[in-house]
Amino acid sequence: MVRTSGDARPCGCSTRHDRIGFVNPQRLVAVVLFLVAFLALAASRAFPFLVDVPGAIETAIVLLGVACALAGVYLWLLKSPDSKA
């Protein structure tokens, strides 16, 4: 165990307690968008009820899934306003 300049706590330990319940709202929306994207893309490939659906609607479902996935990635990687650097 390495100690830092007179500190009795082991390295890596902190006295700061973060709230466990805190969730970044941007990431929460991103997760919801990922779920919508997954469901849209899974519906376009896996479910047989789309066989009777016209091609334009099937394409719209795929495009909805792709748009939700891209928006989710954007929100996930977006820095929050209170973050440093």
Domain ranges of the chain: 25-77
Region of 23 (left: φ > 0; alpha: ψ -120 to 50; beta: rest) is beta
Q: Give CA–CA dist 25/30, Å, rounded.
A: 9
Is residue 31 a contact partner of residue 72, using CB atoms and an 8 Å limit?
Answer: yes
Q: pLDDT tens digit string along 30-66?
A: 999 999 999 998 888 777 766 777 888 888 888 999 9
Mean of all residue pLDDT scores within the chain: 78
Q: Which residue has the tokens 């994207």?
A: 37
Residue 4 predicted with pLDDT over 70? no
